[in-house]
Each structure stands twice: as C-alpha cells, then as structure tokens.
Amino acid sequence: MYNPRFMTTRVTTLCLSLLGAACALAQSLSAPLTGPPPSVIVGTPAQSELLWQKLDATVQQVNRDLNGTLGVAIMDLTVGRTLLLNPDAVFVQASCIKVTVLAELYRQEQHTGVGNARLNDLYTMNSADLVADSSIMAGLTPGVTRVTNRDLATFMVAVSDNSATNVLIDRVGMQNVNTMLDSLGLPHTRLQRKMMDVGAAKAGRENLSTPREMMTFFADLYQGKVLNKDLIADYFKVLSTPKASDIPRLIPDDIVIANKPGELAGVRNDMGVVFAANRPFVIVVMTAYLEHERDGNDAIAKIAASAYDYFDRVGRSSEHGRIVNERNSH
C-alpha cells in the first residue's frame, strides 16, 4: 500500500546522500595533487627530442661561425626524420659527384642488357687516359697492367683517382648517370664534365647537387630503391674504403663510414652514410665561398661528430634516455 510518509523519508535520505557525495567530490577536486606526475605530459618534449635540439643548435652555431656558405642535410635512416640547413641551395660537388658514377656502375651490373658495364670488365692501362691527381693510375704500367672496373671504382673512392673516374665515366656513359638521377627525382644533381676538364668548368659545365638531393640519393640506395641487396652491400663496402676525409675525423675508428669527400678552391664537401650502432644515418655537408678552406674541413668534422653523438646515444638508450648495460642494471 502506498504510504506518503514513507516515500517522503526515502526521497529526503537520497537527496542528503547525493548532496554529501557532491560535497566530497568538490573537496577532492579543490585539494592539491599529492600523487606522482604522469610519465608523459602533453607538450613536454621527449628526451630524444631535447638531444635533437642540441644537434640542431650545433649546426646553427657552425653556420654562424663559418666565413662562407653552408648546406647540411641529415637523415635518420631508422625513422626518416631530417635536419636541414639551406637544403635546396645548389653547390659545386667536386669529387663527391663520383658517388653517382659508382651507383651507375652498380646499376648496370644489376642489369644484363647489351652494352652495360660490368664490375669484372677488364681495363688495360693506357697512358692517354692520365690526368692530374691520379696517384694510383699514374703508377700502373701502360699496356701491361690490367684491372677490373671494380678496381677502378676502388681507386676512384679510396684516393679519388681522377683518371680512374674518367675511364669509368666513359664506360658507364655520362648521360646514363644523369638518366639514373632523373629516375630518382634528382633534377639538380648533374654530372656535366669529366675530372680536371678546366675548359668545361670555365664554360659553366660544372658537377652540381644540393644537400637535400644527395641525402635522398643515399637514402634511396640504402633503402633498396636502386640496387638489389647484394649490390647495395658491395656498393657501401667500396664506399667505406678508408680515405682521408672530414666526416670520420672525430668519430671512433671502429664505426663503418661509407663517404666521399670533395674539394676545390673555396669548396669543401663530404657526404655519405654513417653506420652508427642501431641508428645509421645519412649526412651531407657542403660548403662554398670559403675564405679559408680549412674552416670548411673543420665545420664538416664538427657537424659530423655532433650528429654521431646524437645517433650513437639514441641507438644505445631507452626512450627516456637511459643507457642500459650490465654494469648499470638497477
């Protein structure tokens, strides 16, 4: 049976309970937080981001200090992130353009069409092929010494032998190099003359590229967009032949670095892939209008060392920046 007095009592009790709960909630919301903060706070940079900012600051400082022009392109080959400074400025490449000749040689090795150059094709030394700055080729016996195209490629990379480079340009074809570069979407990267062709240089036919395009070139090679797996490995093996250059100068000796430097009056460049443990990266540094060329060499070495420091630490650390090893496992 319906009892008005009983229902009134129940409603009153329910209202009082809801009022008490509301007061308790209001009190808890106004009280200061005493628990631990969340591990990730929206808007707070990750530890690796803070380290990346330091790398960027180093590049900016080197640029300010350099009496000349500077272009930089760095790519994290693990996640694809890039750091860029004047990435689309066109720079003279000097001997750095030789990495594109090397790539075309390997591309032709991969394809069996008639007329393609092969790594094991033989070349007999011809004194008519000699040009300046050819320390290996000049020591071979004309008409007697026979070497392979791969040998010529090693001379071209290890000591930047200009005669070996010119022989390879003839064998793979200058236009074929540029067609390959077009296929990769690199319109500003051009092989337009042989080595030591001063007349061509005076006529404005210079070997050119940009930091971004050379970064893309090396990334495409690394990612298998140009060569198959075995030829990629051999390409970088040849390119990692020890040589006098600036990228490795301040990096530990046991790190594999596949790079090619280039220099002309007022110009210092170096570029390639640094195989840092767990975090390989592309680095391209180009300079021009240098008052003192040594400053360009030092700028390259400093940027490369700072980049290696970043990728080495990130490759050995957790997302929060801790380096985990057996000596520090607590």
Residue among 103, 60, 64, 95 at smallest CA distance from 216: 103
Structural domains for the chain: 47-316 (3.40.710.10)
Residues shown for the chain: 330
Rounded Cα–Cα distance for residues 186 and 278 (Å): 28
Written as six digits, the tokens of 104 are 């075309």
Between the alpha carbon of residue 165 and those of residues 7, 101, 156, the distances in Å are 101, 8, 5
What angle (nearest 5°) sits at the alpha carbon of residue 102, between those of residues 305 and 231?
90
pLDDT tens-place values along the chain, 330 residues long: 444 444 444 444 444 444 444 444 344 434 444 444 444 444 556 888 999 999 999 999 999 999 999 999 999 999 999 999 999 999 999 999 999 999 999 999 999 888 899 999 999 999 999 999 999 999 999 999 999 999 999 999 999 999 999 999 999 999 999 999 999 999 999 999 999 999 998 898 999 999 999 999 999 999 999 999 999 999 999 999 999 999 999 999 999 999 999 999 999 999 999 999 999 999 999 999 999 999 999 999 999 999 999 999 999 987 777 876 655 555
pTM: 0.85
What angle (nearest 5°) sits at the alpha carbon of residue 271, between those of residues 140 and 104?
60
Written as six digits, the tokens of 160 are 């930047």
Cα-Cα end-to-end distance for the chain: 70
CA 127 to chain centre: 37
CB atoms within 10 A of CB 86: 16
Contact in structure between 280 and 274 (CB atoms under 8 Å): yes
Rounded Cα–Cα distance for residues 160 and 132 (Å): 11
Contact in structure between 168 and 138 (CB atoms under 8 Å): no
Between the alpha carbon of residue 199 and those of residues 203, 283, 320, the distances in Å are 6, 32, 56
What angle (nearest 5°) sits at the alpha carbon of residue 217, between those of residues 213 and 219?
115
Contact in structure between 168 and 105 (CB atoms under 8 Å): yes
Written as six digits, the tokens of 1 are 């049976």
Facing residues of 259 across strands?
Answer: 272
* DSSP letter string, 85-139: ESTT--EE-GGGGHHHHHHHHHHHHH---TT---TT-EEE--GGG--SS-TTGGG
